[in-house]
Copies of this chain bind each other. A is one copy, B any other.
């Protein structure tokens, strides 16, 4: 089982010793997920935090009108879960679904707790993960406050073009907070100029 990408990923954040790294990696189990398969459903309790080795995922919620709203995408070298469910071990509110045939490395909540209890450095790692998540979501709040639909689209393209080209348009539109029709119009307009 190939954990090299995860290994590199974590060593970029904290200085694990060889033994610390081995223990850390030993808790992760590989899982293959087929396109359109769900790894988290609302009401269930998110058992895993998943590191994407290969493939693409999307987490989303459904509002009372039945409309989907994409919360996050996850491609190679990203993490994905319903964190509110995972961290607090409460019922999930999100769907997390594979957009392609994918491979993830999963740690379950209990193992993560063990790791954090076992050593200072593991706690540090998960603190850094949480800080990044907070920074990411805050950037998105600011982007929603400051930019209009068209600007949000172009900002996303600048930063995450690789994601934009891999996910269905309705998923991207619902991530950016607009309808697929409007996103389509933005795109066709930007081609003409």
Residues of A within 8 A of B (CB): 61, 63, 69, 71, 83-84, 87, 116, 119-120, 123-124, 126-127, 130-131, 133-135, 137-138, 140-142, 144-146, 174, 177
Contact between B61 and A134 (Cβ–Cβ < 8 Å)?
no
A142 surroundings in chain B (CB, below 8 A):
61, 69, 71
Q: Of B120, B123, B135, B141, which contacts A87 at CB under 8 A?
A: B135
Contact between B138 and A84 (Cβ–Cβ < 8 Å)?
yes
Contact between B146 and A69 (Cβ–Cβ < 8 Å)?
yes
Query: Which partner residue on chain B sits nearest A69 by CB separation?
Result: B145
Query: Which partner residue on chain B sits nearest A94 by CB separation?
Result: B142
| Complex CA–CA separation, A177 to B146 (angstroms) | 8
A120 surroundings in chain B (CB, below 8 A):
119-120, 123
Q: Least Cβ distance of A135 to chain B in Å? A: 6
A83 surroundings in chain B (CB, below 8 A):
131, 134-135, 138
| Complex CA–CA separation, A111 to B138 (angstroms) | 25
| Complex CA–CA separation, A127 to B141 (angstroms) | 21
